[in-house]
């Protein structure tokens, strides 16, 4: 059963985002578990609101269920983990969300995590999620880049703003580890780490990193049954 | 604008449940705000899982948006508040969820609330919600009736089991106020209160009770703008 | 029994404050429940310290008990809720406090609330109250205007300072809903909302709004007994 | 200034209770600080409700202020700490409450404390206080003896019930340190410790124990000013 | 650099325990990262007290530092994570503790975790650790087998007691995922899962499972520097 | 037995620090309990990292155990409380840590405490400790002086920086009581209190202040056995 892939589903319809996620996972491809990235064609171009997150659940569950026979595990690659618990309840395979895994990973790399979000309205949504996870006391802060689509297309401008926001999280809020609050920012991770002197977590890498070992344990468990 | 009704949407397809909700709201019909109960035809007969709760959001938002021109406010009448934040973000009118309102009401009637759930698998879902609300420390416990559909159809049996579970919440867990963790149990409220000596909250009544005043304030605010 | 009024007691002796409270409640007078505002003649001109809050409890309970035969419910209209639990324990009618209700209302309108207080020494008192309510994790911050009586008498100056403090709560502390931490500031609510783009809660409005529905439910319950 | 006594005020009117408190403090009389116990004549015979606790604040503050010129510090000897913050705000001397000090002491003697209360209705009041202290997560449980005055007059019966309740706190709730939730139970402490194998804290001893050193530090601070 | 092993250090001196740990990790050996288990010869035969946990830190750090040149990462294999933060601060490689990883893994498999401990005195130590992790609100309970060394040597008896304790954690405390609170109980995991119907986490498996992906990411990060 | 001293162990090897601690305790020497300060010769010159804190535990326990026959109680005088729980478990006498006692004392002097640390890397360590104590919600902030050894040798410069940091804790973070996060800063306490208008706690004074009364109670308890 070990040849079944981990399927990472990008719930927005942007294949460019999916390609970015896939590239970020390259370092994890040597671990003996095939990693396959899928785009949810029915998703919106981007997921910025609670409604968008909620509405992708139906097609996301459909896609995941249709792939479940060939999948060794799933990662839902949207910072907001839409459909995570619904899918986890339905499947025997490991199902992980990038937000949950980013937080769990952060908790083993620093004492208080800061989140770099794209837009301010996402922050209350994140806070509800951290509350549901019971880890609010370890969140130093969540601050938004507040950049539009055009600005996000300029890497130098985006990095400069990420450094600015990361510096506030570190110096004003007391964060000692940072989480990129979006599926598509992995390319900035190394630069941010170097500039801020803090570990920076890409949530897709965190989730796949946690999924691979769990799939190996899962295969064993099934074999003994 | 005050003649616009408060629309209470039952997101499951059972008109019997909707009728029960409507009957439970009778005491609140004298407050000068029309109360209208709608059934979500596209919903499942009952909502018992996270997936069911997530999947009603799409048709629920559609129904609510189609009614928004004539509504003074909305109540989502499923203990789980599916779509609550998505709808609240989209509309100017007050949007309330029965779970959130039941908890807020309980916090003003006792120090630690207990929840009477129908089935055990709902409890982790409730706990995630209470965590997102930041009120975990005030939840004394959440215990399930664990009765099947057939058993729930027998009122005497159901009441007996509710008294049993409520007694555990009161005596083992330290609850001093109880919440009925389901939209359709209002008929048992008075008996439970009398037998247990604790206030018992029906979540639909709690939500409508909070919505009415908010609608009155909202009208004013709009008028001054 | 439905013709019994909701009695709102202002525990300070300022009839001007009582009149301001009464005016703030006008939008709620159409809900079919008579609203009557009383001034506690034995109270101090204003309640600024823990000692003042504690010492009004004795005359406040006397006044409330003397009115209890004619009251359908009570609201204690001081941000600090003096005597709330004592009165609630003693009476069968609904008894609500404006601080508790402002917080419960805020929890349904945003994820983290900010409080605008008059004077800095009130803040530890508020924090004790939020701790007792178990909602500390959802308080983004509490900041004081630090204006004297003379300055508070100048509306333009007061509003300017409220906007300044509200902006800090929103931008530095991450509040997405604001609470006016005093019984007499309702007149600034609409302007603040417009200027800050956040919902702003007047605690007296919040409490009366919650009381009205509860009184309706209460009457019913009593009738079935 | 070191000859000014620590004044311990029993806010109920029972001189028998005051004598019991005084006897419990004998081991602390050798520390060079005079300890004087006063009875609040205007208090009720016992303090069992929130209203009783609130209503003693007025005469308690009067008594304390009248004694403040001759006092080196104060302890308020009612498990509920009525008037604690009001008096602390008003005086330069150390002012401690037996509930607060019992909890702080417990936190240095075990990981989760259990409280033995006299009557069940006190428990929500205690929980509000622990919430205000921010220590709810370290409270294993609070259980009541539920004994009437007559039963409390029989030491053997009372001890047997205390052992029963303490055993539940230890074995069902996971407490590893116990607090006597009342000013007058010190006489049972040694027996309970021996029978349960856990440290047991008498709140009056805890408060006076913390006050003595603080008074010594306070004298120094004043002398340098 | 990918051929550097993950070194798992058992900080007690029992090679039998080390062998058990190693066997539990077999399912994870196919992931392309060599896994090497070391015994701390200077450790005690078992670690049951806070003092024992503290005192292994010195030789544990010595051993780890001496191996650091050849290690790709470390896991500290004692439920208590002695020396975790000290070693993490000192090394560039990933350093994980089995307690921390068991908890983080549990938080992605259920809403409230229960811990099966060997002996009761370990529980306060665990609670301090969960508090430091900020996850107390998600711990349903921690209960001890209270079996002596002789009894633990009898598998059938041990399993029976684990089922008994696990049942209490599930039914009385509300746990929906269990953690084995000791490095050497992996052999019981499958049976417990089957009997209790809940996921059961072996902490060594959880830590190695999380370490493997992190090492892969770490290599990449270093290569870009 | 009352002539047995309280032994305060400075776990770093600096006799100058020990002398400073001893001087800070002078106001407490009149309480009838001999206070003796010991230097841990095997300790490092200063304790700045988690590893240093962990590694002093072995010699610290040795020293304390060797002195236990003549000691009435112990205080561990390093802000980090190395070995606290290990020693407490082993001895019948009171064992207190200066960090734990500083926090418990702060909780009775203000609602939210701020910590003035020497160096930034200590802050995550402090946060873990406050989490283990369950008091995170009452910590307003922890800010570092970030001064080197040379700068710390200049009192005027150090005081100026302490005022700066203390002002931030008070005005930006909302602290109303401050803790000196180091064993050797007592000399600045009076000046800081005067300049900031907040109570300032020296942790060694706090711990000895709490130990003295506890020792008196302890003697009594032993005598009754």
Size of interface A-C (CB pairs under 8 A): 15
On the question of pLDDT at A153 being above 50, the answer is: yes
Contacts of A62 in chain B (CB under 8 A): none
Answer whether residue A219 is part of any domain: yes
Q: How many Å lie between the alpha carbon of B122 and the closest alpha carbon of chain C?
A: 22
- What is the DSSP-derived secondary structure letter of residue A117? E
CATH number at residue B15: 3.40.50.12500
Check whether residue F39 and residue F118 sit in a common domain.
Answer: no
Q: With beta carbons less than 8 A apart as the criterion, state whether F135 and F62 touch.
A: no
Check: CB of residue C98 under 8 Å from CB of residue C75.
Answer: yes
- A220 pLDDT band, cuts 50/70/90, is low
According to DSSP H, which parts of F82-121 are helical?
84-90, 98-106
Beta bridge partners of E156: none
Asked if C77 and C111 sit in the same domain, the reply is no
Binary contact (F217, D190; C-beta < 8 A): no
Q: Which of F133, F138, F224 sits opposite D190 (nearest CB)?
A: F224
> Three-state SS for D74?
strand
Mind spelling out the 3-state secondary structure of chain E? Answer: CCCCCEEEEECCCCHHHHHHHHHHCHHHHHHCCCEEEEECCCCCCCCCCHHHHHHCHHHHHHHHHHHCCCCCEEEECCCCCCCHHHHHHHCCCCEEEHHHHHHHHHCCCCCCEEEEECCCCHHHHHHHHHHHHCCHHHEEEEEECCCCHHHHCCHHHHHHHHHHHHHHHHHCCCCCEEEECCCCCHHHHHHHHHHHCCCEECHHHHHHHHHHHHHHHHHHHHHHC
pLDDT of residue A106: 98
How far, in Å, CA of A126 to CA of E38, rounded?
41
Number of domains in chain B: 2
Residue E41 lies in a domain: yes
Task: Report the pLDDT value the prediction gives residue A60, as an integer from 0 to 100.
Answer: 98
C110: left (phi over 0), alpha (psi -120 to 50) or beta: beta
**What does the alpha-carbon distance between residue E183 and residue C163 come to, in Å, rounded to a whole number?**
57
Question: How far does C37 lie from chain D, in Å, by closest CA?
Answer: 23
The answer to whether residue C158 is domain-embedded is yes
Which H or E run contains F202? none
Tell me how far apart the alpha carbons of residues E215 and F30 are, in angstroms, rounded to a whole number. Answer: 59
Per the prediction, chain C carries an average pLDDT of 94
Among partner residues E134, E217, E225, which is closest to A209 by beta-carbon distance?
A: E217
Task: Show the tokens assigned to A109.
Answer: 């790399």
pLDDT in tens, F210-221: 999 999 887 655
Q: Which of B217, B221, B223, B224 to mutate to test the interface with C (most CBs of C within 10 A)?
A: B217
Structure tokens at E93: 């490689």
Contact C55, D61 (CB under 8 A): yes
Which H helix or E strand runs over D38? strand D35-39
Tell me the C-alpha distance between D78 and D68, whole Å. 19
| CB contact (8 A) between residue F124 and residue A137 | no
Q: For C47-55, what is the mean pLDDT?
A: 96
Residue A172 lies in a domain: yes
Please report the DSSP string for C43-101 in residue order: S-SS--SHHHHHHTHHHHHHHHHHHTTT-SEEEE-STT-TTHHHHHHH-SS-EEEHHHH
- The ipTM estimated for the assembled molecules is 0.95
Structure tokens at C158: 């007061």
Interchain pair E112, B124: CB under 8 A:
yes
Q: Are E206 and E98 a contacting pair, CB within 8 Å? A: yes
CA distance D142 to B64: 46
pLDDT in tens, C104-117: 999 999 999 999 99
Average pLDDT over residues F7-30: 96
Chain D interface mutation, best of F34, F210, F222, highest count of D Cβ atoms under 10 Å: F210
Average pLDDT over residues E31-40: 95
Would strands E113-117 and E139-144 be described as parallel, antiparallel, or unpaired? parallel
Establish if C61 belongs to a structural domain. yes
Same domain, E14 and E92: yes
Q: What's the mean pLDDT in E160-179? A: 97
At residue A219 the predicted structure's pLDDT band, cuts being 50, 70 and 90, is low
Which CA distances in Å does F119 have to F116, F147, F192? Answer: 9, 7, 19
Rounded to 10 deg, the angle between the A98-106 and A122-133 helix axes is 70
> Are residues F138 and F165 both part of a single domain?
yes
Of C110, C137, C176, nearest to A136 by CB-CB distance is: C137
Same domain, F119 and F32: no
A54 with B86: Cβ contact below 8 A: yes
Residues of chain A in Cβ contact (below 8 Å) with chain F: 110-112, 137, 174, 176
- pLDDT at site C1: 43
Nearest CB partner across the interface for E111, out of B124, B137, B141 = B124
What is the C-alpha to C-alpha distance for residues D17 and D34, in angstroms, rounded to an integer?
Answer: 19
Query: Looking at the predicted structure, is the pLDDT value of residue C224 above 70?
Result: no
Parts of chain D with a pLDDT under 70? 1-2, 219-225
Query: What's chain A's length in residues?
Result: 225
Shared domain for F43 and F92, answered yes or no, is yes
Contacts for B152-155 with beta carbons within 8 Å, 24 or more apart?
A: B152/B118, B155/B187, B155/B188
Task: Measure the N-to-C terminal CA separation of chain B; round to a whole number of Å.
Answer: 14
Neighbours of A55 (CB within 10 A): 23
* Strand-by-strand arrangement of the E35-39 sheet: E35-39, E6-10, E73-76, E95-97
CB F147 within 8 A of CB F181: no
B34-60 pLDDT per residue, tens: 999 999 999 999 999 999 999 999 999
Separation of alpha carbons C22 and C31, rounded Å? 15
The whole-number pLDDT of residue E32 equals: 86
The answer to whether the CB atoms of B54 and A129 lie below 8 A apart is no
Q: Are residues B125 and B106 in the same domain?
A: yes
Nearest Cα to Cα of residue C212 among C69, C91, C34, C61: C34
Do residue F137 and residue C131 have CB atoms under 8 angstroms apart?
yes
**DSSP secondary structure letter of residue C39:** E
- Distance set, CA D46 to CA C110, D49, D97 (Å): 43, 9, 17
CA D172, E48, E173: angle at the middle one, nearest 5?
A: 25
Cβ-nearest to A107 among E133, E190, E225: E133
F124 and A110 within 8 Å at the Cβ level: the answer is yes
pLDDT tens digits along A179-212: 999 998 999 999 999 999 999 999 999 999 999 9
pLDDT for the residue numbered D218: 78
Residues E108 and E134 in one domain: yes
Q: Cβ–Cβ of C31/B31 closer than 8 Å? A: yes
The angle, 0 to 180 degrees and rounded to 10, between the axes of the packed helices B122-133 and B98-106 is: 70
Question: B4-22: per-residue pLDDT in tens?
Answer: 999 999 999 999 999 999 9
Residue F62: Cβ within 10 Å count = 12
Q: Provide the pLDDT for residue C223.
A: 44
Q: How far apart are CA D49 and CA F164, in angstroms?
A: 46
Yes or no: say if E6 and E76 are a contact pair by the CB < 8 Å rule: no
* Residue range A70-125, pLDDT digits in tens: 999 999 999 999 999 999 999 999 999 999 999 999 999 999 999 999 999 999 99
Asked whether residue F113 falls in the same domain as residue F192, the answer is: yes
Please, are residues B185 and B202 in contact by the beta-carbon 8 Å criterion? yes
Structure confidence at residue D223 (pLDDT): 45
Pairing of strands C113-117, C139-144: parallel
From E192, E218, E165, select the one nearest E2 (Cα to Cα): E218
pLDDT at A3: 83
What is the per-residue pLDDT across B101-149, written as a single tens digit (0 to 9) for each? 999 999 999 999 999 999 999 999 999 999 999 999 999 999 999 998 8
Q: Tens of pLDDT along B170-188?
A: 999 999 999 999 998 999 9
Measure CB to CB from residue A216 to each of E28, E101, E190 and give the nearest one.
Answer: E28
Four-CA torsion F207, F211, F212, F213, nearest 10 degrees: 120
Identify the domain containing residue A143 by its residue range: 100-203
Give this prediction's pTM: 0.96
Q: Which pLDDT value is given to residue D1?
A: 43
For residues C158 and C149, is the Cβ–Cβ distance under 8 A?
no
Residue A161 sits in the same domain as residue A210: no
Size of the D and F interface in Cβ pairs below 8 Å: 104
Q: Are A78 and A43 members of one domain?
A: yes
Q: Is 60 exceeded by the pLDDT of residue A34? A: yes
Q: Is the pLDDT reported for residue E224 higher than 80? A: no
Both tokens assigned to F212: 């003295």
E104 and E197 share one domain: yes
Contact F6, F71 (CB under 8 A): yes
| From C127, C137, C141, residue closest to F111, measured CB to CB | C127
Rounded CA-CA distance E31/A30 in Å is 8
Q: Do D209 and F205 touch (CB under 8 A)?
A: no
Mark yes or no for CB contact B89/A51 under 8 Å: yes
Count of CB atoms situated within 10 Å of the CB of F197: 9
Q: Do D128 and B112 touch (CB under 8 A)?
A: no
* Helix C122-133 with D122-133: angle, nearest 10 deg: 130
Query: Is residue F84 assigned to a domain?
Result: yes
Burial D21-58 (b: 16+ CB within 10 A, else e): bbebbebbeebebebbbbbbeebbebbbbbbbbbbbbb
Nearest CB partner across the interface for A134, out of E138, E210, E225: E138
Rounded Cα distance between D200 and D193, Å, is: 6
Q: What average pLDDT does the segment A141-164 reach?
A: 94
Q: What is the pLDDT of residue A1?
A: 43
Residue E202 CA to residue E102 CA, distance in Å, equals 7
Distances (CA, A) of C170 to A178, C163, C174, E14: 22, 10, 5, 57
Tell me if B166 is assigned to some domain. yes
Chain C residues bordering chain D (beta-carbon distance below 8 Å): 49-51, 53-55, 57-58, 61, 83, 85-87, 89-90, 121, 125, 128-129, 131-134, 136
Span C187-209, pLDDT tens digits: 999 999 999 999 999 999 999 99
Neighbour subunits, B (≥3 Cβ pairs < 8 A): A, C, D, E
Contact E117, E143 (CB under 8 A): yes
Q: Does residue B1 belong to any structural domain of this protein?
A: no
Distance (Å, whole) CA C2 – CA C15? 27
From F171, which residue of chain C is nearest by alpha-carbon distance? C143
């Amino acid at each position: 059963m070990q040849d079944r892939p981990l399927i990472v589903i990008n719930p927005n319809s942007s294949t460019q985002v999916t390609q970015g996620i896939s590239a970020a996972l390259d370092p994890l491809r040597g671990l003996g578990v095939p990693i396959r990235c899928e785009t949810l064609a029915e998703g919106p171009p981007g997921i910025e609101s609670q409604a968008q997150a909620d509405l992708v659940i139906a097609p996301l569950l459909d896609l995941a269920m249709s792939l479940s026979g060939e999948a060794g595990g799933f990662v839902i690659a949207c910072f907001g983990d839409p459909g995570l618990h619904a899918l986890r309840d339905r499947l025997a395979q490991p199902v992980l969300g990038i937000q949950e895994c980013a937080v769990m990973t952060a908790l083993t790399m620093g004492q208080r995590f800061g989140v770099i979000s794209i837009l301010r309205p996402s922050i209350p949504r994140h806070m509800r999620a951290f509350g549901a996870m019971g880890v609010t006391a370890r969140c130093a802060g969540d601050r938004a880049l507040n950049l539009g689509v055009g600005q996000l297309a300029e890497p130098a401008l985006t990095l400069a703003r990420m450094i600015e926001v990361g510096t506030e999280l570190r110096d004003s809020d007391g964060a000692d580890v940072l989480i990129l609050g979006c599926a598509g920012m992995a390319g900035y991770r190394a630069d941010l780490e170097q500039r801020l002197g803090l570990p920076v977590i890409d949530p897709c890498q965190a989730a796949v990193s946690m999924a691979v070992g769990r799939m190996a344990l899962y295969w064993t468990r099934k074999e003994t049954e």
